[in-house]
């Protein structure tokens, strides 16, 4: 079946450290891939997306590249800040008829950044 | 520009009680959906709708009913609450042809 697997947390980093959160997927066809972020007490917000192989999504210093050969979409940031503390969700959206574009989420990775 | 509004934000129910979680959006989005979020489980799709009068089941529909009489509203009904339905519920909407979902801020439901 279709699924998303992301690294388990929590992840604790010091400010200005490099961040990688791994995400791999299993899907039929060619899905679109997303990273969502959830700040404490809030709903999810779209962080970045990639709709085809080799696309790189980027936003707020975060980047992720759609790697079809490794079925991966790892999230990276060169220098994290305390304000980046949140839960990060990797997700895929199937793009064929009948799926209605529903999102399939990973379990989430909690990131805590210490000053 | 309210976006997606969910009410209530918090609710405690007794086992067997019924209630409706409200979701309204003001962006004229065709697609609306309900997810539940449980620790270590991510978000799982309960029900979704691609337009007024059209609904379908997601991954975990048992124990929940939905209807879509207008474009703006997509309520989620719990007919007989169970402790297993203790969760945080999120409503989300988007244009059918769009990639970006807009999420509400969630309803935290506890069933005792």
Residue pLDDT, tens place only, A61-86:
999 999 999 999 999 999 999 999 99
Of the partner residues B44, B96, B103, the one whose CB lies closest to the CB of residue A44: B103
Torsion angle defined by CA atoms of residues B30, A27, A33 and A73, in that order, rounded to the nearest 10 degrees: 170
Whole-number pLDDT of residue A98: 58
Q: What is the structure's pLDDT at A96?
A: 65
Whether residue A85 contacts residue A112, with contact meaning beta carbons closer than 8 Å, is answered with yes
Does residue A97 carry a pLDDT above 80?
no
Asked if B48 lies within 8 A of A32 by C-beta distance, the reply is: no
Residue B73 pairs in a beta bridge with B24
Q: Of B73, B78, B37, give the one whose Cα is nearest residue B55.
A: B73
Return the higher-pLDDT residue of A1 and B28.
Answer: B28
State chain B's mean pLDDT as an integer.
93
Which residues of chain A make contact with B58, given a CB cutoff of 8 A? 102
Among B32, B38, B39, B42, the strongest candidate for a mutation testing the A interface, having the largest count of A CBs within 10 A, is B42
DSSP one-letter code for A32: E
Number of other CB atoms surrounding residue B90 within 10 Å: 24
DSSP state of B79: S
Q: For A15-55, list the strands marked E by DSSP.
A: 19-21, 23-26, 32-38, 44-50
**Chain A residues touching residue B34 (CB < 8 angstroms):** none
Check pLDDT > 80 for residue A99: no
- The DSSP output letter for A98 is T
Q: How confident is the model at residue B73 (pLDDT cuts 50, 70, 90)?
A: very high
Per-residue pLDDT at B69 exceeds 80: yes
Q: How far apart are the first and last CA of chain B?
A: 36
Least confident among A93-107, B2-16, B76-90 = A93-107
| Dihedral pair phi/psi, residue A82, rounded to 5° | -55, -35
Give chain A positions within 8 Å (CB) of B96. Answer: 101
A31: exposed, middle or buried (Cβ count in 10 Å: 0-12, 13-18, 19+): buried
Residue among A84, A114, A83 nearest A21 (CA): A84
Percent of chain A with pLDDT over 70: 96
pLDDT reported for residue B70: 96
Please report the pLDDT score of residue A100 as a whole number: 67
Please tell me which residue of chain B has the smallest CA distance to A103: B45
Least confident of A39-43, A47-51, B108-112: A39-43
State whether the Cα torsion A80-A81-A85-A86 is positive or negative: negative
Minimal Cα distance from A10: which residue of B?
Answer: B40
């Amino acid at each position: 079946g279709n699924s998303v697997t992301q690294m388990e947390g929590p992840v604790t980093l010091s400010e200005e450290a490099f961040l990688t959160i791994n995400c791999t997927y299993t899907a039929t066809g060619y899905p679109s891939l997303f990273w969502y972020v959830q700040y404490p007490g809030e709903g999810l917000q779209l962080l970045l997306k990639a709709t085809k192989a080799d696309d790189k999504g980027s936003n707020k210093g975060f980047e992720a590249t759609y790697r079809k050969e490794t079925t991966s979409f790892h999230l990276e940031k060169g220098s994290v800040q305390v304000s980046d503390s949140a839960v990060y969700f990797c997700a895929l959206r199937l793009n064929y008829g009948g799926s209605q574009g529903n999102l399939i989420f990973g379990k989430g990775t909690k990131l805590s950044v210490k000053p | 520009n309210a976006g997606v509004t969910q009410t209530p934000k918090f609710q405690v129910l007794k086992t067997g009680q019924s209630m409706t979680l409200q979701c309204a959006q003001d962006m004229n989005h065709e697609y609306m959906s309900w997810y539940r979020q449980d620790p270590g489980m991510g978000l799982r799709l309960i029900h979704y709708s691609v337009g007024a009068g059209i609904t379908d089941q997601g991954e975990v529909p048992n124990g929940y009913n939905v209807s879509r009489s207008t474009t703006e509203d997509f309520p989620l009904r719990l007919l007989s609450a169970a402790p297993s339905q203790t969760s945080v519920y999120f409503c989300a909407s988007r244009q059918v042809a769009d990639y970006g979902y807009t999420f509400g801020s969630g309803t935290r439901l506890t069933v005792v």
